[in-house]
Structures are given as C-alpha cells and as structure tokens.
C-alpha cells in the first residue's frame, strides 16, 4: 500500500511584531556593562518583550534564537535555550544559538522566519548579544593555518579594520574626507533622533553594578560623541595603517549590548492582537573576498532584489549597519545613492550608537519598523550589513501602514 502523499504547504506571511534592545555600552573595564553578564542582557530583552505584549501567552513562543559571535563563557552553552529558561519562559520552549559574526541577529531572524513561513513555528523570539568587553572578537579561536598558508585569503582578512582599509584601496574615490563627513552626519542624525524621541522608546533600562561605584541604571547609549565635527575627525590616528583612512571616528567602536524581537505568522499575530510592524518580503546572504568584506551588502542586495522582483528604486528607507563609513559609501556609490540621502540611516547609525556585533541586525530592523509607522508613503525598506570573513546580508521588508498611491 502506497504511503499517503505529504500535505501541500503554502508559504505563510511572516511579520516583525516589535523589537527592543538594551542601551549599548562601551566595551572595556570602564564601560557600563563591565561587570554585567552577557546572558543577563539577553534575559532583560526577552522579559521586556513579554512585558510589553501581555497578549502573547509565553507558552505560545515556539523558539528562541539568540546569536553571539564569540560563543564562550557567559555567551556560550546554547545561549538561546539558557536565556529562555532564565527569562521565565516555560521549559517547553526550546532555544538555540547561532553565529554569523556581525549578522548573527539578522540570521536568527531569517532562519526562524523561514520556519514560520514553512509552518514549523507560529511565534518566535530572535535576537543577539555581544559583550566585547568580556569577550573580544576572536577570543579562544584557533584559525586553521591553511587559511593563510594556502593563500585562501589575504592575511588582512582576519582584521576587520584592515579590510576597511582594503576597501579604500579598491575604491580610491571613497576618500577619508567623505568618510569623515559621513561619520559626523551619523552622529548629528543620531543626536537629533534622541532629542526628538525617535530613539529611546525601544530601549530597555538595565541595572548595572560596579564594585567601585555600586549600582547604576543604563538608560541611554554610551558610545555617541555629540558635537563631533569633520575637523575633529580629521585629526584622529589611523590605527590599522600608517597614513591610513580608517579611524575610531569613522568606524563603529567595540561595544556591549543585546537585542531581541518577536516574529510571527501574520494570521497568528492578528489572532492574538499583536501589532504588525513589518512584513518580510525576502532576504539573501552573499559571499565576497574576505579581504574586502565591507562590500558584502552590494551582492546580497542585488541577489534579494532579483529574487523578489524589486529594484533599488522601490526601496524607500535604508538601514545600513555602519561598521565602517567606507563600507556604507561603497554600497551607496554602487546603487547611485547620495552620501547624505535622507532615506539612508535617517536616525544615525552604528558609528554613533555602537555595534555589538551579533546583536546589531535586530537594531536595524527595530528602527526600520518604527520608521515605517511614521511613513505610510513608503512601501519597502531594507536592512543590510557587511559580515566578517567576507559576506553580506540584506533583508527587504514591506510597510503594513503603506497607503497605496495616496
């Protein structure tokens, strides 16, 4: 007797309900989270999502996916599962850890979103954490010597700042002056967004402790440098190369922080009364030469545009992770977008607020979702980032508040 045919599965709409994050801190012994555990930052984020949405029964969460680049110490031990338990979610809720370096949280979202579209999940929590003060990038790793000995990659590919210098070499028209101008504008846009309340509602206050100073409360990002000018940036040292172009001012710093979001099948979200912040359209990851990893967002974006049938002119808002200013400019130049285009990082970016590696993808998504709510004239937006060891990732989202051709 023949086995019964497997049921046909229709792809379901996946929605981004909402996202939150901790304030981002400076990595190191003087940073706000110097004596705070990485997993406790994730726990704070998950608990805040559940607090904000009491209409979501905790037992309805089907998966918790948490990314970390350095999966060691308090970022190890399958952090998605341990953070779920520590957050008070039922023990029936599973979890896992994920690593795609800077795009960890982005990959946590796309991976679990695929499960929702397929019907394996209805609701998930996805996010990321990086405590670069406790766990510097590369801590405890043992790269295979053949990577360099067999000339699979240039030795500079393993140092992110040097890869940014390589992008400058490849595209000499992306000058240090342009990068400094972009960086100063990022700081200015971020400061204005904080002042006007655009950035702030998504932040989760975090209790911090210090053996020297006692207890504190982190309520705002620590890295921003308000009042930054092109003149002050021009005077900074270039640590990756003598007379180079990459500085601490036109790149994101070393940071600590966590992010998280709720994703759901659209019908399930509406059944529970959860808001719909964005609708997933498509995503793509692409590989590039590791020594110029900063150009990764270009082929990833080309790939997802081709797969979704959209063009770059259809995108009304861009959230690009500012690992390095030169990497953002390479993307903008490729697509013919002006350095100061108001559609791009309108609330500033990682150069101002920080880039705790694996957590940043959900920061981009959370900001895009909040921008969509204010812009019913915009139908599509994208989040994109370069990824260490030569990759890029791009996710395209649709605005549920779009008002058609009005």
Residue numbers annotated as active site: 102, 355, 386
CB 206 within 8 A of CB 256: no
Question: Using CB atoms within 10 A of its CB, is residue 67 exposed (0-12), middle (13-18) or buried (19+)?
Answer: buried
Rounded-to-integer distance, Cα 299 and Cα 303, Å: 6
| 107 Cβ contact list (under 8 Å, min separation 6) | 67, 98, 100, 285, 361, 393
Burial class, 115, CB count within 10 angstroms (exposed 0-12 / middle 13-18 / buried 19+): middle
Provide the 10 A C-beta neighbour count for residue 17: 23
Helices (H) and strands (E) in the chain, counts: 12, 12
Q: Give the pair of three-digit tokens for residue 372.
A: 């969509």
* Residue 345 near residue 185, CB atoms below 8 Å: no
For every residue of 154-168, DSSP letters joined together read -GGGGSHHHHHHHHH
User: What are 93's two structure tokens?
Assistant: 């809720």
- 282: DSSP letter: E
Task: Select from 20, 19, 22 the least CA-distant residue to 223.
Answer: 22
Distance between CA atoms of 310 and 375, rounded to whole angstroms?
Answer: 19
Rounded CA gap, 102 and 392, in Å?
Answer: 10
Q: Which two tokens stand for residue 173?
A: 């028209």
List the one residue out of 315, 193, 245, 256 whose CA is nearest residue 39. 256
CA 14 – CA 16 distance, rounded (Å): 7
End-to-end CA distance of the chain: 58
Query: What whole-number distance in Å separates Cα of residue 85 and Cα of residue 82?
Result: 5
Q: Kindly report the CA angle at 396 between 392 and 397, in degrees rounded to 5? A: 145
């Amino acid at each position: 007797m023949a086995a019964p045919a497997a049921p046909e599965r229709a792809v379901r709409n996946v929605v981004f309900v909402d996202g939150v994050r901790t304030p981002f801190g400076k990595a190191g012994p003087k940073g706000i989270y110097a004596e705070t555990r990485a997993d406790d930052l994730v726990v704070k984020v998950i608990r805040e999502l559940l607090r904000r949405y009491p209409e979501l029964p905790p037992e309805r969460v089907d998966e918790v996916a948490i990314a970390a680049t350095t999966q060691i110490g308090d970022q190890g031990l399958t952090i998605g599962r341990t953070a779920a338990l520590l957050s008070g979610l039922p023990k029936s809720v599973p979890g896992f850890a994920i690593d795609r370096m800077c795009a960890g949280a982005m990959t946590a979202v796309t991976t679990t979103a695929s499960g929702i579209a397929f019907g394996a999940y209805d609701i998930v929590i996805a996010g990321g954490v990086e405590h670069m003060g406790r766990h510097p990038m590369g801590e405890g790793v043992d790269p295979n010597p053949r990577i360099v000995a067999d000339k699979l990659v240039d030795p500079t590919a393993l140092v992110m700042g040097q890869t940014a210098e390589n992008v400058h070499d490849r595209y000499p028209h992306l000058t240090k002056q342009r990068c400094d101008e972009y960086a100063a504008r990022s700081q200015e846009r971020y400061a204005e967004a904080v002042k006007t309340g655009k950035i702030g509602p998504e932040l989760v206050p975090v209790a911090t402790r210090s053996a020297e100073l006692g207890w504190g409360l982190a309520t705002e990002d620590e890295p921003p440098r308000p009042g930054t000018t092109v003149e002050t940036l021009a005077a900074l040292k270039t640590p990756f190369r003598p007379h180079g172009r990459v500085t601490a001012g036109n790149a994101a710093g070393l940071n600590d922080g966590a992010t998280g979001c709720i994703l759901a099948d659209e019908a399930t979200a509406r059944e529970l009364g959860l808001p719909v912040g964005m609708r997933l359209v498509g995503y793509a990851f692409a590989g590039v030469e590791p020594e110029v990893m900063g150009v990764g967002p270009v082929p990833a974006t080309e790939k997802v545009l081709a797969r979704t049938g959209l063009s770059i002119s259809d995108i009304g808002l861009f959230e690009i992770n500012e690992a390095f200013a030169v990497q953002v400019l390479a993307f903008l130049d490729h697509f013919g977008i002006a350095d100061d285009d108001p559609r791009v990082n309108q609330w500033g970016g990682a150069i101002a607020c920080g880039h705790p590696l694996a957590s940043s993808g959900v920061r981009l998504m959370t900001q895009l979702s909040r921008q969509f709510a204010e812009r019913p004239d915009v139908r599509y937006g994208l989040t994109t980032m370069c990824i260490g060891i030569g990759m890029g990732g791009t996710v395209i989202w649709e605005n549920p508040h779009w008002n058609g051709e009005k």
